[in-house]
Amino acid sequence: MKIAMVGSGYVGLVSGACFADFGHDVVCIDKDQSKIDRLHDGVMPIYEPGLDSLVENNVRAGRLSFTTDLAEGIAGAGAIFIAVGTPSRRGDGHADLSFVHAVAREIGQSLSNDAVVVTKSTVPVGTGDEVERILAESGTPHRVAVVSNPEFLREGAAIGDFKRPDRIVIGAEDEFGREVMREVYRPLFLNESPILFVGRRTSELIKYAANAFLATKITFINEIADLCEKVGANVQDVARGIGMDNRIGAKFLHAGPGYGGSCFPKDTLALLKTAEDFESPVRIVEAVVKVNDSRKRAMGRKVLDALGGHDTARGKRVAMLGLTFKPNTDDMRDSPAIAVAQTLADAGVEITAFDPEGMEIAAPLMPEVEMKADPYAAIEGADAVVIVTEWDVFRALDLTRVKELAKAPVLVDLRNIYNPDDVREAGFHYTSVGRE
């Protein structure tokens, strides 16, 4: 089947490349000419492990191509995916659907055959209804079904998530839409990946509900971590103890500086706005958003405490290791590192930093931070070293070298990747999250 993927960002490019790898003929479409030019040259617009080789292999095989011409790209496509951005709208927090609506209008004006239009973008409940209305207004004579097919990709593990999914959710209102989507996902269906067919509005809500629940788990264990510090307990042991209960599960119970990224902050806020519009408040999610926002600054204050307090921090230097919101991505959106750095800068602290993939994107977002070529260059002369993101390269630092380079042997581990006894035995003043 020919598949058109409108939007060649994180979701669109990963999904398009994986569909091509399944044997479909895929065209990725984007208005950004420079992005398409770079893709033609084999340059990825995002960092995702394995994506460059996946794209290269399928371009070489003739199954994956790129264009800025939507009419040309969707011609003959049985499934047309909308995978454009839906950022939080400035001022009210609602998801900005202007890109989705614009694409729907252009599809309606350009359609040359029967097709299923699939919203892959994360969209509020009822968006599929609006897309259907826009397509109907275009006056196209062709049969069109509008389907919701939310993505559940983790940055840094997106290809594996796409090819070996926990579930595939498809929201369709007619048999034509369901039939085409079965063909689209036939390679995974044969591998017995669970496919859940539901109504379109249900599918749209599943995506938001899933992300809000995961954000809640993260925020819950972070608050338990604060309590552990007060009572002298170990949050990692608490997480292990409750995670063994299969009703709870061990995932997303890692205490840290708060969640960030492209999904959780945006999607929890959009869910709150949807609930507000329908006069059905979700109080737990409201609390999650507030607690997570305040936590990022609190982690900056934790670093100031390790420096001896706010009043003595001015003029001192901190080395931040890791800037992206999680490892194996270059995504800086809502990264805790931004708030931590701002808190330190407000206290008059000088900041150096290193991140394996995120520094180019981080630099304009964090003008107060001096980027360094490697972790040890960032550490040299620092009064404290702070691990903000748990990249593998930081898990086995040469502590003897760190101690020699740093001005003071202070290590603040916001991801709990080190054993406290080992670090203290190496002569460091060690601070972690939710542990004595």
Domain containing residue 40: CATH number? 3.40.50.720
* Judgement on whether residues 175 and 26 belong to the same structural domain of the protein: yes
Note the pLDDT of residue 305: 97
* Judgement on whether residues 163 and 312 belong to the same structural domain of the protein: no
Note the pLDDT of residue 190: 75
* Judgement on whether residues 16 and 165 belong to the same structural domain of the protein: yes
Which residue type is seen at 304?
A: L
* Judgement on whether residues 244 and 125 belong to the same structural domain of the protein: no
CB atoms inside a 10 Å sphere around CB 311? 8
3-state secondary structure of 122: coil
Q: Which helix (H) or strand (E) holds 306?
A: helix 283-306
Helices (H), 156-199: 158-163, 175-184, 186-190
* Judgement on whether residues 193 and 214 belong to the same structural domain of the protein: no
* Judgement on whether residues 271 and 324 belong to the same structural domain of the protein: no
Residue 182 domain flag: yes
Angle between helices 127-137 and 200-231 (to 10 degrees): 150
Of 153, 177, 198, the position where a domain reaches its end is: 198
Note the pLDDT of residue 171: 98
* Judgement on whether residues 74 and 190 belong to the same structural domain of the protein: yes
Q: Distance between CA 330 and CA 10 in Å, rounded? A: 11
Q: What is the pLDDT of residues 362-372, one digit of tens each?
A: 999 999 999 99
Residues of the chain with pLDDT under 50: none
Residue 24 domain flag: yes
Give backbone dihedrals phi and psi of 429, rounded to 5 degrees, phi first: -85, 115
Residue 203 domain flag: no
Residue 353 domain flag: yes
Tell me how many domains the chain contains.
3
Q: Is position 263 annotated as part of the catalytic site?
A: yes
Note the pLDDT of residue 433: 98
Residue 422 domain flag: yes
CB atoms inside a 10 Å sphere around CB 250? 13
Note the pLDDT of residue 192: 80
Q: Distance between CA 203 and CA 9 in Å, rounded? A: 22
Q: From its phi and psi, is residue 238 left (phi > 0), alpha (psi between -120 and 50) or beta? A: alpha
Residue 436 domain flag: no
Note the pLDDT of residue 233: 97
Spatial strand order in the sheet of 115-119: 64-67, 25-29, 2-6, 79-82, 115-119, 144-148, 168-171, 195-198
Note the pLDDT of residue 191: 75
* Judgement on whether residues 140 and 271 belong to the same structural domain of the protein: no
Q: Distance between CA 5 and CA 358 in Å, rounded? A: 26
Residue 160 domain flag: yes
Asked if 178 and 170 touch (Cβ cutoff 8 Å), the reply is yes
Which residue range forms the structural domain that includes residue 227?
A: 208-289
Q: Distance between CA 237 and CA 258 in Å, rounded? A: 19
Q: Are strands 168-171 and 350-354 parallel, antiparallel or unpaired?
A: unpaired
Which residue type is seen at 22?
A: F
* Judgement on whether residues 43 and 150 belong to the same structural domain of the protein: yes
Residues facing residue 168 across a β-bridge: 195
Of 250, 266, 289, the position where a domain reaches its end is: 289
CB atoms inside a 10 Å sphere around CB 113? 14
Of 289, 310, 341, the position where a domain reaches its end is: 289
CB under 8 Å to 288, separation ≥6 — which residues?
A: 212, 215, 216, 219, 268
Count Cα atoms within 13 angstroms, Cβ side, for 246.
0
- Global pTM? 0.93
Note the pLDDT of residue 283: 97
Note the pLDDT of residue 193: 85
* Judgement on whether residues 34 and 127 belong to the same structural domain of the protein: yes
Which residue type is seen at 95?
A: A
Q: Of 372, 424, 415, 371, give the one whose Cα is nearest residue 395.
A: 415
Q: Distance between CA 43 and CA 55 in Å, rounded? A: 10
* Judgement on whether residues 262 and 398 belong to the same structural domain of the protein: no
Spatial strand order in the sheet of 369-371: 369-371, 350-354, 317-321, 384-387, 410-413, 429-431
* Judgement on whether residues 261 and 312 belong to the same structural domain of the protein: no
Residue 346 corresponds to which tokens in the numbers above? 């407000």
Residue 12 domain flag: yes
Q: Distance between CA 302 and CA 321 in Å, rounded? A: 16
